[in-house]
Chain A
């Protein structure tokens, strides 16, 4: 089954304790991306990657790191989490049809709900 998986699905942590949220896709997609979703602010793009070893900032990259060492995996790293990073996080992936944007038919993961105390 084609899917994007995220782990963990729920996480409670404390300020300053480094954490990693994993994202994996089994569709051989080139493009992967991380978003956060907050009430009143909608979905905002954190980082994206157009291929292995190619990453770039989205609209809200501060406080986050990513890496893309393998095509299928795109982990999100919070080196020193703070309470304002409490949010619902989504990973997404897509392929690219020739001449079309990467985001066409973007598949989203189930989400990771993070609470930073």
Chain B
């Protein structure tokens, strides 16, 4: 069974305080690992796709990395507008399995 586990469940940071979110997943049959951002009351917004161990992608203050068992979303010098729930998901074909998300709050 495909599984995705995210940690921590919630994270509070001060503006400018860098940190990382973790996503661990079942390895078997992995074809892609995705990161999404979700704001309250809205649908998830696509951020990154990673396909193979060692791959990295960046967008503004966010950088996603992938190892054989985990993915990390690094947030460098976050701003209050980065506050959101960050979702990790994996696909082994046409089905997509999400983690429960990490709720990030960045205080000014």
Contacts and interface: CB of A to CB of B under 8 A. Distances in A.
A50 B94 contact: yes
Give the 8 A-B residue pairs with the shortest CB-CB distance, closest first.
A108-B43, A42-B100, A43-B98, A101-B32, A101-B91, A103-B96, A42-B98, A101-B31
Interface bin, chain B: 20 to 34
Nearest to B51: A100
Interface of A: 4, 31, 33, 35, 40-45, 48, 50, 56, 58-59, 90, 92, 100-111
Contacts of A58: 95
B27 to A, nearest CB: 16
A40 B9 CA distance: 10
B94 A56 contact: yes
A110 B49 contact: no
B96 A40 contact: no
A71 B34 CA distance: 25
B45 interface: yes
A106 B96 CA distance: 11
A33 B96 contact: yes
B95 to A, nearest CB: 6
B43 A42 contact: no
Interface in B17-40: 31-32, 34
Given A48-B95, A56-B94, A43 B87 contact: yes
A111 B41 CA distance: 8
B44 A103 contact: no
Given A103-B32, A103-B34, A45 B44 contact: no
